[in-house]
Amino acid sequence: MKRLDQKIALVTGGSRGIGKAIALRLANEGAVVSIIYKSAAAEAQKVVAEIEAAGGKAFAYQCDASSSKEAADVVEKVAGQSKRLDILVNNAGITRDGLLMRMSDDDWDAVIDTNLKSVFNFTKPASRQMMSQRAGKIINITSIVGVTGNAGQANYAASKAGIIGFTKSIAKELGSRNIQVNAVAPGFVETDMTHALTDEQRQKLAERIPLKRTAKPEEIAGVVSFLASSDADYVTGQVICVDGGMS
């Protein structure tokens, strides 16, 4: 039997990057995975196809994660299929970088709504289902930037720091119902965002990391898989930094 055999999992922002790697890993461990995407329908269907080709089971749902109604509707659909929701991974996120003096209200609001409000939007209805079944795992993807800060990313850092505070608070609220709530804080990861960097920029980046390289999305997914499993039944309210030693 696989570690997450027949567990029902929901991954927001699961069509590419870290979210895709998480969805694939959870499915490989035996979970039935529902992928939430906003606009990347083709990419989401490719992830579903990849999971099914490997013998797994997956679904894709379109949803604006910043909308509480859309998030609640999707959670109801996913939980309604099997009357359970065992694993929620809040991964949806965007960046709108810029120095504070030049940052628009729209750039601030878009990042806070997508990165932070979405965690509230999905966790609230998911926790209701988990409370009724008296078990569940909630894993929030934050960032090392939420711990250290970063010039030019006040909106992103604030959203990710907010996720850390949210994680610790909800872990205390839900602990008595056997629901574990943790956060994973990646450092620099090889995704579409880092692919836009020049070789020189990547080299400078690697020099700041004790392990002298960026992370692969699969390395983040491995930690999420651990937190989603029974191996982490006594781990809650924690922020695990997967950053090559940067922090």
Would you name the residues annotated as active-site residues? Answer: 156
Tokens of 167: 């994680």
Run of H or E residues at 91: none
How far apart, in whole angstroms, are the C-alpha atoms of residue 150 and residue 159?
Answer: 12
CA distance 206 to 146: 20
> Which pair of tokens denotes residue 2?
């696989």
DSSP labels, 127-191 = HHHHHHHT-EEEEEE--THHHH--TT-HHHHHHHHHHHHHHHHHHHHHGGGTEEEEEEEE-SB-S
Query: What 3-state DSSP class applies to 242?
Result: strand
Strands of the sheet with 87-90, listed across from one edge = 57-62, 32-37, 8-12, 87-90, 136-141, 179-186, 239-242
Question: Is the four-CA dihedral 153, 158, 163, 168 of positive or negative sign?
Answer: positive
Among the listed residues 122, 139, 144, 118, the one whose alpha carbon sits nearest the alpha carbon of residue 225? 139
